[in-house]
Structure 1
């Protein structure tokens, strides 16, 4: 089958970055589905892995979002059958979705939203899982909880922020404050449902005081090390900070007087370690699919390529590296 992979760690324009390759079709395990990939998206994890980690084999196939149709099932598969349309975020320890066919554990796979086509559907899984786990695993919120409390989403216009704002407004009673530093990102986060918008390039503490809001929860989605002193100052005592980026060095000492909780969200944990609750990801993706079809959630796609080629995927990686992506980037699957 055809796939787009890489051979060496380094810049996207470097030697060996993102090239079309021929490789064997995946062999599936007992819990696996073999999926004909019809839509993918690009996430920061793709860029980080390509730039920093040489592949363990010559393929180096990235991609951790997909929508497609099941063409084969493993011996212990019980939830899906050949012909089912699915979407999912995959497993960072396995070959990625930038390929014609992809093997994935059925326990982390959801049914594709009927309202969206395959390409648009591929923009949802990874960010939806991340946002959902942040709200209900990290913050330990219950649905319809949070009345009188607020959530600050730092980097609200990115992929995770765009769906996190929607989930928080739809499934909890939290007041949602999103940060945005450009007119177009401010417009976007308001479209996603943010109650208030502040500028993370300005004095966030002063801006929140002007709103008379003290967040109980902070979702630190980008530049956490830069914003850390302000986060600790602006959050409520016994508040909770959840982060998804990779700050080099955080001094957590100042968090002690407020008895703050600090946690990382990493949506690949359940699939990497095959946790006892691995099927939570399947269940939440099915909820997201139902909410899309019911019109209570909206797509976060803003960039859509006409074809998946080395050139279009390279451009998508470059845009991710710019740090200016709004919402999600999606591409069709490789033509078979």
Structure 2
């Protein structure tokens, strides 16, 4: 390429987040590019008319029609189901996503929750609230002597496994294509018998998979019956992967030791739901995906991809390319 193209950063992200920081992060990494963040829809259409690169959460029909020179739409969310993929493909527009940007922070949250249960910190927190200095034990085993099953070995699952590995537990990975292998000691598929065999050996069950026909209701009454009574569930995937009623009953009946839920079904969890009142259930409001490094990581992906375009002159075979 003889000159660097304009990059148009759209005004709003999902949930109304501003993209001002994203524009600044891109400018830092690509100082030779003109990074434009228009303040109005009309300004976006005007800027997009000659820009080969647009960065945003979504692109509507009117903006796509205006973007006559568009070569790359860099979506800054991991999911792209909301995009007009057929129209983009028909135009020959490459599309990338932000897969992987959530890995480190979600992995940190999983590790924190697992360690809280390894050391029964929730018991200590409760006694602190009661101003009660009384020793407690009841630690089933150290993390290094435990078995952790991670369902989903995408970028988030791999980041979780990488950090867990330092503690030395036996690691079981569950994925759609076990033949691909993975970074765990064992890699299994979703076959019922095989999955239940893993559950029977599991101390910590971590759900880091997307919601699909296969994973919807993956963990229900039968699975809670298979898990050992000292097992702990950690869900950072999607709420409907777990049967909420079955989970609630399993906690009440001491069929498992506890749960850490960043996602629930329904979501938000009703304020009068029994899970709120259980001391061995840790609930966070679907915020494990937040990180101050989100936009810098998105900008890193874009910078690497545009570096590749400069080298090859092509928008093919880019990192995280989905179209």
Query: TM-score of the superposition, structure 1-length normalised?
Result: 0.43
* Bigger proportion of residues as strand: 1
Structure ID, larger Rg: 2
- Which structure exhibits the higher relative contact order, with contacts defined as CA atoms closer than 8 Å and separated by 6 or more residues? 1
* Bigger proportion of residues as helix: 2
